[in-house]
């Protein structure tokens, strides 16, 4: 048990012993030799334990040294020539994720005329009519069966006005109407939440296209103006096609891939 | 002259002619209302006693006179009670045809083209790229000429010596290399000294020394270094900036201007490397500098006639003649563009205070450029616009809108009548100074346009960008 801080007190009053620092230096200098002698002598579990402790110490030491010389070291990564060269006036600026320029605009137009696209999902499961629609019975005795309710997700344009219920053959439920889609840019590998402009083609038939039914494989047009895409002529692209890759009626959201 | 003053005195207007700096030429004149620019030009040529008929443009209250005097005054409601001051501006005696089509798309670079430069005599073209090479192009056959390997990283900037004998390129690892444009071989060893990438290179003007020996380079590490191409080493290191130097210019008076990210512009003297002046005012990084005589300094002794010189003395003399003609006994002006969306007009030779502050851009100013006759300043900004300013007073003139992406670089035609701009939206656009409107849309690049240069003889425009091709545009 320590009996008070008499050593400290003596040092405060009289200072260090004249040979204090010299002795300490020598002790430190001898320490390494002592350890080395011990390391050679220690056998069995003692030796193993010592070696393990020493190994851990050395690893930490190496790490700290590396950390200190981090700033002065020449890093290999800096010397390598990186992709995506930019001029000096852009070097210090933060580069935001860049949208690709559409070099194949002409091709796209041609495809549009033919009504055919090379799409990520070339084939979809055909959906039968009785799966797409539910029959609603109407009339006082509920005997009339001409009314249908769409059971899939639909897109209804902002300018849509309902017809009088008497003439409304197809009902597109409010809960299944969508205005936005999560669209992935395949080259940028990032996803944006974009507004839907319209339904371009539903693979199940032109009737569904005109009704705006969105099922898996449907080609929709989305508003990409905020992506900053530019045509080769320097115009901002605002509408682009995307294909739906999930079953929106099951998932509650529309996911798609941009067709570029 | 007699034919002009004959008209009935009742409708006459008392005018005085003045040059751009406001010096009045002779006594006031009594001019008839139906006098137009043509008659004024005739009159002015007689008063100035020029040997050849020089073209002039006339301005009344900063509005160009295009019809007859009377019609112009009526249209713009100018008072004729006072003596009407008509400002005359000399125009270039030659006219450069606007480029309209892409004459060649030359592939070759394996990475984005970062800088493009025509030689001062417009006979050679070089480009630096992200694939670590400098390439020389044959502009007559529009084919690659030499590929120069040697740099270890992206070649960020290139600069021709004003006597066309050398090309210097600076790379991202801080090395500078010199190339011989006739053989495409490296001259000497790489010049090392900068610790970070090179942001700009400026040669000593040809009227100070021919053959060109010295050039200055600016680097991200905050230093400006002056190099000697004969000794192959750094002669002086101008350190003082606390942050990266973004732009360096060597003025005709023998000063070096350096703009830096520490918001200051420093003026250096080149024999001992002393700091002469510090121009303060900007609130954010200084991105770019432009000198009123920059175009003449760049082209040195070569002008639009394509004259070649046999001896260095002759070259030096011709360069001096061109320089004094461009400077016209007023001090050199400097414009700086900054990240604080403004620009300053300075006269560094007379004082450390700015002459004018040019505000209006809504995004940072990336490039400013004086027109070759020093009359206009054009500025390219990330707010998708190019703005035009008066080069003497710094007054705003107009905005050129049309780009849909940030404008990176601009380049003037040698006659100061046209301006071409390259943008991130993958197009280039040409703007007309006469109508202050878009003259030509130049689509063709598949990606961002990083570098634009108009050849000093006005025949061609070269551009390079992220789509790795070099495009040549012709009329």
Q: Pick from B34, B66, B90: which residue ends a domain? A: B90
Judge if B25 and B106 occupy the same domain: no
Cβ–Cβ of A88/B287 closer than 8 Å? no
Question: Does the residue B96 lie in any domain?
Answer: no
CB-CB contact of B392 with B331 (8 Å)? no
CB-CB contact of B88 with B18 (8 Å)? yes
Judge if B213 and B136 occupy the same domain: yes
Q: Pick from B61, B90, B119: which residue ends a domain? A: B90
Q: Which of residues 142-181 of B touch A (CB under 8 A)?
A: 152-154, 156-157, 172-173
Cβ–Cβ of B404/A234 closer than 8 Å? yes
Cβ–Cβ of B443/A233 closer than 8 Å? yes
Residues of A in contact with B129 (CB under 8 A): 85
The number of domains in chain B is 2
ipTM of predicted assembly, 2 dp: 0.82
Q: Among residues of chain A, what percentage have pLDDT more than 90? A: 56
The Cα–Cα gap between B216 and B224 comes to: 7
Tokens of A103: 């070099």
Judge if B106 and B234 occupy the same domain: yes
Q: Domain A105-258, what fold?
A: Thrombin, subunit H (2.40.10)
The Cα–Cα gap between A105 and A120 comes to: 18
Q: Pick from B90, B119, B153: which residue ends a domain? A: B90
Residues of A in contact with B429 (CB under 8 A): 234
Judge if B401 and B271 occupy the same domain: yes
Alpha helices (H) along B204-311? 294-299
Q: Calculate the dihedral angle through the C-alpha atoms of A187, A189, A192, A195, rounding to the nearest 10 degrees.
A: 40
Radius of gyration of chain B (CA): 23
Task: Return the domain boundaries, chain A.
Answer: 105-258
CB-CB contact of A202 with A215 (8 Å)? yes
**Which parts of B97-242 are beta strand (E)?**
101-106, 113-118, 125-129, 134-138, 143-148, 155-160, 167-171, 176-179, 186-191, 198-203, 214-219, 223-228, 233-239
Question: Does the residue B417 lie in any domain?
Answer: yes
Q: At what angle do helices A44-68 and A20-41 cross, to 10 degrees?
A: 130
C-alpha A9: how far from chain center: 64
pLDDT reading at A173 higher than 90:
yes
Distance between A90 CA and the closest CA of chain B, angstroms: 9
Q: Among residues of chain A, what percentage have pLDDT more than 70? A: 88
Judge if B51 and B195 occupy the same domain: no
Judge if B223 and B243 occupy the same domain: yes
Q: What's the rounded mean pLDDT across residues A161-178?
A: 90
The Cα–Cα gap between A190 and A98 comes to: 10
Judge if B43 and B133 occupy the same domain: no
Residues of A in contact with B132 (CB under 8 A): 81
pLDDT in tens, chain B (475 residues): 444 444 445 578 888 888 877 788 888 888 888 888 888 888 888 888 777 778 888 888 878 888 888 888 888 887 777 888 888 888 888 888 889 889 999 999 999 999 999 999 888 999 999 999 999 999 889 889 999 999 999 999 999 999 888 999 999 989 999 999 999 999 989 999 999 999 999 999 999 888 889 999 999 999 999 999 999 999 999 999 999 999 999 999 889 999 999 999 999 999 899 999 999 999 999 999 999 999 999 988 888 887 888 888 888 999 999 999 888 878 899 999 999 999 999 999 888 899 999 999 999 999 999 999 888 999 999 999 999 999 988 999 999 999 988 999 999 999 899 999 999 888 999 999 988 999 989 998 888 899 999 999 888 999 999 889 999 998 8
Distance between A84 CA and the closest CA of chain B, angstroms: 7
Q: What is the CATH number of the domain that holds B54?
A: 3.10.20.90
Q: What is the CATH number of the domain that holds B390?
A: 2.130.10.10
Judge if B175 and B283 occupy the same domain: yes
Per the structure, the complete domain to which residue B187 belongs is given by 101-474
Tokens of B437: 């409107």
Q: Count Cβ–Cβ pairs < 8 Å, chain A vs chain B.
A: 81
- By the CB < 8 Å criterion, does B244 face chain A? yes
Question: Does the residue B95 lie in any domain?
Answer: no
Judge if B82 and B218 occupy the same domain: no
């Amino acid at each position: 048990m320590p009996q008070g801080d008499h050593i400290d007190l003596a040092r405060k009053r009289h200072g260090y012993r004249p040979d204090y620092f010299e002795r300490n230096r020598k002790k430190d200098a001898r320490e390494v030799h002592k350890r080395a002698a011990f390391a050679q002598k220690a056998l069995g579990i003692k030796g193993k334990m010592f070696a393990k402790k020493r190994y851990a110490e050395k690893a930490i030491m190496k790490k700290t040294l590396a950390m200190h010389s981090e700033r002065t070291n020449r890093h290999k990564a800096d010397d390598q020539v990186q992709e995506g060269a930019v001029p000096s006036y852009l070097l210090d600026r933060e580069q935001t994720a860049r949208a690709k320029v559409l070099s194949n605009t002409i091709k796209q137009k041609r495809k549009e005329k033919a009504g055919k696209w090379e799409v990520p999902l070339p084939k979809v499961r055909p959906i039968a009519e009785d799966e797409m629609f539910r029959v609603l019975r109407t009339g006082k005795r509920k005997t009339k069966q001409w009314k249908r309710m769409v059971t899939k997700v639909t897109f209804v344009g902002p300018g849509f006005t309902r017809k009088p219920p008497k003439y409304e053959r197809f009902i597109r439920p409010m809960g299944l109407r969508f205005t936005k889609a999560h669209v992935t840019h395949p080259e940028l590998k990032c996803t944006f939440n974009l507004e839907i402009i319209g339904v371009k083609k539903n693979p199940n038939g032109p009737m569904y296209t005109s009704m705006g039914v969105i099922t898996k494989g449907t080609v929709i047009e989305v508003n990409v103006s905020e992506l900053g895409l530019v045509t080769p002529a320097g115009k901002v692209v605002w509408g682009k096609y995307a294909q739906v890759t999930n079953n929106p009626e099951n998932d509650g959201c529309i996911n798609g891939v941009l067709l570029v | 002259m007699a034919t002009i003053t004959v008209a009935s005195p009742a409708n006459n207007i008392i005018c005085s002619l003045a040059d751009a700096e406001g010096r009045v030429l002779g006594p006031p004149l009594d001019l008839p209302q139906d006098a137009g620019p043509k008659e004024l030009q005739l009159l002015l040529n007689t008063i100035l006693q020029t040997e050849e008929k020089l073209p002039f443009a006339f301005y009344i209250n900063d509005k160009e006179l295009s019809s007859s005097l009377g019609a112009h005054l009526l249209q713009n409601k100018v008072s004729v009670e006072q003596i009407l001051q008509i400002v005359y501006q000399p125009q270039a005696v030659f006219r450069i045809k606007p480029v309209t089509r892409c004459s060649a798309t030359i592939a070759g670079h394996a990475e984005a083209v970062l800088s493009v430069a025509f030689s001062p005599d417009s006979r050679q073209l070089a480009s630096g790229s992200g694939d670590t090479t400098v390439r020389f192009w044959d502009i007559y056959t529009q084919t690659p000429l030499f590929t120069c390997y040697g740099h270890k990283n992206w070649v960020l900037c290139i600069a021709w010596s004003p006597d066309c004998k050398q090309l210097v390129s600076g790379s991202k690892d801080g090395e500078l290399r010199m190339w011989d444009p006739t053989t495409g071989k490296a001259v000497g060893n790489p010049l090392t000294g900068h610790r970070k990438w090179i942001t700009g290179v400026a040669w000593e003007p040809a009227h100070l020394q021919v053959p060109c020996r010295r050039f200055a380079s600016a680097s991200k590490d905050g230093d400006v270094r002056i190099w000697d191409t004969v000794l192959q080493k750094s002669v002086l290191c101008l350190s003082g900036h606390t942050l990266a130097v973004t732009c360096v210019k060597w003025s005709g008076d023998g000063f070096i201007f350096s703009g830096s990210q520490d918001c200051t512009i420093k003026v250096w003297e080149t024999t001992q490397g002393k700091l002469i002046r510090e121009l303060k005012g900007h609130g954010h990084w200084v991105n770019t500098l432009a000198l009123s005589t920059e175009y003449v300094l760049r082209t040195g002794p070569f002008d639009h006639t394509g004259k070649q010189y046999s001896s260095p003395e002759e070259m030096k003399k011709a360069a001096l003649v061109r320089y004094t003609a461009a400077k016209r006994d007023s001090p050199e002006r400097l414009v700086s563009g900054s990240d604080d969306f403004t620009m300053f007009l300075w006269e560094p030779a007379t004082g450390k205070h700015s002459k004018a502050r040019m505000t209006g851009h809504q995004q940072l100013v990336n490039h400013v450029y004086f027109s070759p006759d020093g009359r206009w300043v054009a500025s390219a900004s990330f707010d998708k616009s190019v703005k035009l300013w008066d080069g003497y007073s710094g007054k705003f003139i107009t905005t050129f809108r049309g780009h849909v992406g940030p404008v990176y670089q601009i380049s003037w035609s040698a006659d100061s009548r046209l301006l071409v701009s390259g943008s991130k939206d993958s197009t280039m656009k040409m703007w007309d100074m006469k109508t202050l409107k878009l003259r030509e849309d130049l689509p063709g690049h598949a990606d961002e346009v990083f570098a634009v240069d108009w050849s000093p003889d006005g025949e061609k425009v070269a551009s390079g960008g992220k789509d790795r091709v070099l495009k040549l545009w012709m009329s």
